[in-house]
Amino acid sequence: MVLVLVESLDDELSRQALTLAASLDDAVHAVSGVGEYAPAGWGRSLLEVIEELSPSAVLAPGTDRGNEVLAHVAAMLDLPMAANCVAISPGDPAAVTRIRWGGSLFEDATVHGSPLLLTVAPHAVAAEPVEVAQLRELEAAGGDGMVRVIEHVPASTAGVSLAEADVVVSGGRGVGSAEGFGVIEELADLLRGAVGCSRAVTSAGWRPHTDQVGQTGTKVAPEIYIACGISGATQHLAGCKGAKKLLAINPDGEASILASADYAVIGDLHEIVPAISAEIRKARGA
């Protein structure tokens, strides 16, 4: 049997992990944490279930919590763990393919040890219905190094959330200054979208890190991503490859971003973006 740590049986990323687990073994058992989150505590409880059921593999979705809880288990068992896998072939050693550089590169690796511990990269496999033999609730077990969430502070609900926006208008180094984002904000507002930016922009202090799209920023999945003055570093593309369409506005017709773009306008964003905003107003008769 294989054991899967899930957020819930309906959660999309958990269902993807269950799908990959079902390709390894017919008997899939699931566990889900309850109560306030406690990383080491959940790990210790998961370890008790592993000792009782002796699964051949333990999987979790490649989320912050999935990676964290499974790493605690791996540390306690002194076993290897492969994070963010997209494919597995069981065996001794098992062979996995996992992502590096936020998905810009794949690694084929072997994993020596049993049970096999791995997390599943988000959106690497399509979720299919999986029959789960048993779902157990996991309460945090106490012990050394026990920490737990003591308080949850809700986010302010003002504005459109970058991660969930249908439109993201994003600016890079080519915007030139903090003030230069005025035209980006105007277009984002007209499209009821969110403003994003590249890492160069947050490092320069032009925008807060909460606006950063990329491997170490927010991962977005809008209907359209409008990249203005962004060259297209792998760090940035790792954050916007979930976009359904990508429009690049760039003075350089050879910029890396064009290789990932559906549409491009070549030229100066400071002329093009206001022209697009004006054209939208005209089309709306305002």
CB of 76 to another protein, least distance (A): 6
Residue span 158-197 as binding mask against another protein, x where in contact by CB under 8 A, dash where not: --------xx-----------------------x------
Give the one residue of 10, 144, 158, 286 binding another protein; rule: CB under 8 A: 144
| Binding footprint of another protein, residue count (CB under 8 A) | 96
> Which positions from 243 through 272 interact with another protein, judged by CB under 8 A?
245, 247-248, 253, 255-268, 271-272
Decide if 28 contacts 1 (C-beta within 8 A): yes
Nearer to another protein, 144 or 179 (CB): 144
- The token duo for 283 is 């089309």
Site for another protein contains 284 (CB under 8 A):
yes
Strand 105-111, strand 94-100: pairing: antiparallel
Q: Min. distance of Cβ 166 from another protein in angstroms? A: 8
Q: Which of 150, 179, 285, 286 binds another protein (CB under 8 A)?
A: 150
Pick from 12, 48, 75, 92: which binds another protein (CB under 8 A)? 75
Q: Which of 129, 51, 69 is nearest to 59 (CA)?
A: 69
Across-strand partners of 213?
218
Question: Secondary structure of 86-147 in the HEC alphabet?
Answer: EEEECCCCEEEEEEEHHHCEEEEEEECCCCEEEEECCCCCCCCCCCEEEEEEEECCCCCCCC
When the beta carbons of 26 and 286 are compared against another protein, the nearer one is 286
The answer to whether 140 contacts another protein (rule: CB under 8 A) is no
Query: 5 near 111, Cβ under 8 Å?
Result: no
Q: Applying CB under 8 A, does 80 fall inside the site for another protein?
A: yes
Closest residue by Cα to residue 124 from 71, 81, 62, 216: 62
Q: Position 263: which residue type?
A: Y
In whole angstroms, the minimum distance from the beta carbon of 27 to another protein comes to 26
Of 6-35, which residues contact another protein (CB under 8 A)?
A: none
